[in-house]
Chain A
Amino acid sequence: MIRKTVVAGFGVVLAVLAGSSFYRSRHLAEPVVAGPGVTRVATLGDYFEPVKGTINDSNVYVLEGREPGGTVLLLGGTHPEEPAGRLASWIFAENAELAQGRIFVILTANRSGSTATRLGGAYPPDYTIPTSWGGQKFRMGDRWSNPLDQWPDPEVYLHYPTRQELAYVDIRNLNRAFPGRPNGTLTERTCYAIVELIRREKVDIAIDFHEAELQYPVISTIVAHEKGADLAAAASMFISSVEGFAIGVENSPKALRGLSHREIGDATDAISLLLEAPEPFLDATRGRTDRALLLTGKDEFVVRAGKRGLLFEKIDENGWPIDIRVGRHTSTVLQILENWSADKPDRAVVVSGVPRYTEVVAKGTGAFLKDPGTAPAGKLFHE
């Protein structure tokens, strides 16, 4: 009896340790200090009632300029395990100021997905970006919605409305569920709410931030719906010649369904673009999957894979630090907006206060995260 009590006690200790870690990870509140451009904060549920009050009733930070113009949507956290996208959208929400037009920023498009990590992936539960005021902690997140919020998965996932067969687990992948379904799963309803936002707010350009493993051919690029091919190509040329990094352009394939760059462009009047930055943390050949790898992008095994010609992007001992990945995203958006505004002055979106690539790399991402401890009243929100 004593032996059984001791072993059961051991089990309780393990359950408490694991359970408290999972609980903290799911409930970690990430502060957002609304920047000078934010005029109001809506939620996805305001655009589609069935999402109201769910875990995916994500905040929508609305930035409005003094002059009317065009409207842009920035989607961060479609895949929360790709942190450069969330951090770039954070920088826009906390720093951007608009002279003309509007920007809608969603920092955590799939908030459910930000509350779990990949099963068997040994991911860290969170990571911290160093700042002058001590550092800001973020949830690590996963590619898919948390199974606690959407379960079970089917044997085969049939995308709505095309009925294309996709991997079963992708029924919880926000970037395989567009344009969404009003009476569908949580992930499909979230996509539907985003598409409703785009329709109701007459969004001109929807930009979805992502990161990719170096073994994936779609990397360091702008994936563009055919409506945005010229815009993406022009931005790519400008960036590659003046920004200090190269970025390509890929056409959104018509045969692969559910992705934002395809479905948002097809289902709405908006131009849909998707940005990919390199994230060695996601590579299958990576070594230890820890916070250091996530933030430095340094991994000797991925480097070795590169030397054997197995990668679609270069990597050396300097890795792919988070500041480079975030800077790529901010600069790409700024360049897209500049080209768009020059071409469509009546629908221009003129933004200032957002750092470009060289500034993010020089000062670090943390330099552009605001201290929640000194946030003015009414300006502090949580993701």
Chain B
Amino acid sequence: MATVVTLFYYLLTAYIAFLLIGNFLKRKNWQEEALTVIVLLPFILRLLRLK
């Protein structure tokens, strides 16, 4: 059961990372882009299993 939940957790993490990348592409100024990149960072690291 825990394995299945963990799988969903990683899928959710990938989905949010995908949304954040889309958000980054839509931003119009560098401050908001930098903020989005910083928010994205832990999601990318978690997908790479770096913690």
Contacts and interface: CB of A to CB of B under 8 A. Distances in A.
Interface of A: 3-4, 6-8, 10-11, 14-15, 18-19, 22-23, 26, 116, 146-148, 150-152, 185
A46 B20 CA distance: 45
Contacts of B30: 3, 6-7
Nearest to A7: B33
A322 B41 CA distance: 35
Interface string B7-43: 0010000000000000011000010011001101100
10 contacts: A4-B25, A6-B30, A8-B24, A10-B34, A11-B37, A11-B38, A11-B41, A146-B51, A151-B6, A152-B5
Interface of B: 2, 5-6, 9, 24-25, 30, 33-34, 37-38, 40-41, 44-45, 48-51
A7 B16 CA distance: 19
Given A7-B30, A18-B50, A22-B50, 8 more contacts: A3-B30, A7-B37, A15-B41, A15-B44, A18-B41, A23-B50, A151-B9, A185-B2
Secondary structure at the A interface, as helix, strand, loop or mixed, is helix
Given A23-B50, A146-B51, A147-B51, A14 B33 contact: no
Contact of B33 (A3, A26, A185): A3
B9 A22 contact: no
B40 to A, nearest CB: 7
A19 B37 contact: no
A152 B38 CA distance: 24
A23 B49 CA distance: 9
Nearest to A22: B50
Contacts of A3: 30, 33
A19 B2 contact: no
Contacts of A148: 49, 51
A4 B24 CA distance: 8
A3 B29 CA distance: 9
A23 B44 CA distance: 14
A19 B48 contact: yes
A138 B33 CA distance: 38
B51 A7 contact: no
B51 A116 contact: yes
A14 B45 CA distance: 11
